[in-house]
Amino acid sequence: MKCQKVQSNLIFFIGKELSQEDEEQTKLHLSACDECSMLYRRVNETINFINIERNEKVNPFLFTRINEKIKNSNSREIIPAYYRLAHAFVFALIISAGLAAGILLGTKNAGYFTGLNSKKDKTTETREFTGDFAFNDEEINNNY
């Protein structure tokens, strides 16, 4: 028997589903061919492992515990729709107030930084600004 035919019938050989004649020929080939016998051992080990896993006992209370968790997760407190709507409204109100405050501060102070609202010349503005922080001769003479 050829290797290809033995390899295709290997599952049936392990499951004892071959005819008596094919089974005898497969046994003879497996005893003579190292490659096919190694494949037979691997397939047989795999099938035995699957059978062991299939027969493993499962905890009988597993289904009950899972079912109770599902029931408990479905019985969560339901939040009313108006509460969710109020929550969204408050969030939108806070965002709108922040945007309005940012726009107001930006337009009110834009002239200070860019000089758009200044009708005075730069020299006068600089003197007024530094006048708060610097001493002039009159103040020094008057205070000391």
Question: Number of C-alpha atoms within 13 angstroms, CB side, residue 6?
Answer: 22
Q: Which two tokens stand for residue 19?
A: 């005819």
pLDDT at 97: 96
* Domain residue limits, the chain: 3-54, 81-143
Those residues of the chain that have pLDDT short of 50 are none
How long a stretch of residues is the chain? Answer: 144
pLDDT at 42: 93
Residue 2 and residue 32 in contact, taking contact as beta carbons nearer than 8 Å:
no
pLDDT at 131: 59
Q: Which residue has the tokens 């006048």?
A: 131
Q: Which two tokens stand for residue 57?
A: 């006992």
Q: Which 3 state secondary structure label does DSSP give 25?
A: helix
pLDDT at 90: 95
